Chains A and B, each alone.
Chain A
Amino acid sequence: MLDVQKIRRDFPILHRKVHGKPLVYLDNAATTQKPRPVIDAVSKYYEEYNANVHRGIHTLAEEATAAYEDARQRVAQFIGARNPAEIIFTRGTTEAINLAAYSWGEKFLKKGDTILLTLMEHHSNLVPWQLLAQRKGLNLEFIPVTAEGYLEDPEGMIRRLQPKLVAFAHVSNVLGTVNPVQKLAKVSHEVGATVLVDGAQAVSHLPVNVADLDCDFYAFSSHKMMGPTGVGVLWGRAKILKEMPPFLSGGEMIREVFLRESSFKDVPYKFEAGTPSIAQVIGLGAAVDYLSELGIENIRRYEEGLLEYAFKKLEAIPGLTIYGPRNSGDRGGVIAFNVAGIHPHDLATVLDQDGVAIRSGNHCAMPLHAHFKINASARASFAFYNTAAEVDVLTESIEGAKKVFKV
């Protein structure tokens, strides 16, 4: 069981006030807050051993390189990757997916091939494939979404369309839907497709083990899992990564350079051109330690309970519509909703006056909003440091907004 009051003391920002009210931070799907050990790890690097990695011989360079590579090992262990060389540090999930699209996609997909995505993708798992499809003359197909927010007959579509790539979110950033990665990976592999999973909304909320999930690529961001911004991860099967050409090129990733040609290092360095986000990677390592100590299973259990409570409270508000699966077991910690007669931006502004931070807009998922025939939605998204008392503040604030707008 999580001691949430104790956990909250680890997050300095949770003690600040907004417009004179205690901060109620419910925008965790956008980015999570950072615990003291992560902040300290970043400061410690800058204060004690700031140096470039993989270059110097001096003590600071050795220490920085050791800490950077140590973080890679811990991230690998955290997501069940057998080989730390399968962990490529990128700038974030978006860059991780772009890396796969530019490197793997350019090499292995050819004119007429099909990429199968879903209607619930974040733009970062849609636009890179659109551009690739335009460059190479590929077909883009989409698994539809049911009214309840589940994928509609994904296995049937995979069998029917015989795609070369199936790419989808582990957890939808709007509907919260937890997609059945294992099941879809199995069918995809049966038809010979490669599977990429966008895990940005999953990693700090659900147990993630890439060996069990049996996908081929898994992309996620540090800043959505208590770590710093500016770093993300593309995990890929070593066998596939080895066959892929470099994406970005320059320093750090080369073995030998001549004026007209160069040879490249092995994975993962082949994909890490330039000085990486060293402090941030070290911070991500600290975040992984923090999450491991709490236990992802404990986190999941706690967040499911909180989600169930939030559901009950929100459902009791007349005029409030929730999008996505009702069963909290099928959901990550995300609740997107609308209140009849109040634009989500206006709702977010009124809630902010009460110290409540939610997101409003289309959450980088315009096609999904179009599917539900709405422009925008409000979204409350939870982390393990949120409490039932904060859900009460949220619902009271929504009731207050209804009075302001007389709905």
Chain B
Amino acid sequence: MMDIYREEILDHARNPRNRGKVADPTFEFHASNPLCGDTLDLQIKMQGKPPKVSEIAFQANACTVSVAAASMLTEKVKGMTEKELAELDEKDVISWFGGSLTTSRTECALLPLKALRDALKGGEEK
């Protein structure tokens, strides 16, 4: 099967890492994909000096691509500073799918990263 549904991706979609909620989040955002009505809630807790991601979790009602991307993204960003989070590149996320994403499915893959960026921008800063 194509790269987009290779075993690693399917595993992340079936057994998402960091699924759930964070108590007392520093940032959070509710994102939706207008193409399909999928939704994703992302919560981040920053702690320490300088503040770094100590906890991150998401809840999604979404497709394999969005859920797998959220699972992989949340794994990757633990321990990052706010500056490092802001510098995350869309190209990295897209590369996880081996360059097999069409334009419409790229939207699915980027939903978690967009949620993260909107959260940082003060979507729902607490």
Contacts and interface: CB of A to CB of B under 8 A. Distances in A.
Nearest to B64: A346
A353 B1 CA distance: 9
Given A375-B61, A405-B10, A344 B36 contact: yes
Given A343-B38, A349-B105, A405-B64, 12 more contacts: A344-B63, A345-B64, A345-B108, A346-B65, A362-B37, A366-B37, A375-B36, A375-B37, A375-B38, A376-B38, A404-B10, A406-B10
13 contacts: A343-B64, A344-B36, A345-B35, A345-B36, A345-B38, A345-B105, A346-B63, A349-B4, A350-B5, A375-B36, A375-B61, A404-B5, A406-B10
Main secondary structure of the interface of B (DSSP, over half): mixed
B18 to A, nearest CB: 20
Interface string B82-126: 000000000000000000001011001000000000000000000
Contacts of A404: 1, 5, 10
A361 interface: yes
A345 B37 contact: no
Interface of A: 343-346, 349-350, 353, 360-362, 366, 369, 375-376, 404-406
Contacts of A349: 4-5, 102, 105
Contacts of B108: 345
Nearest to A400: B1
Interface residues of B, number: 19
Contacts of A369: 37
Contact of A361 (B1, B4, B37, B61): B37
B23 interface: no
B62 interface: yes
Contacts of A375: 36-39, 61
Contact of B36 (A350, A362, A405, A406): A362
Contacts of A345: 35-36, 38, 63-65, 104-105, 108
B102 to A, nearest CB: 8
B76 to A, nearest CB: 22
Nearest to A346: B64
Contact of B35 (A346, A350, A361, A406): A361
A343 B37 contact: no
B65 A361 contact: no
A361 B36 CA distance: 4
Nearest to A369: B37
Nearest to B1: A404
B36 A360 contact: yes
Contact of B63 (A343, A353, A366): A343
Contacts of A405: 5, 10, 64
Contacts of A344: 36, 63
A353 B2 CA distance: 9
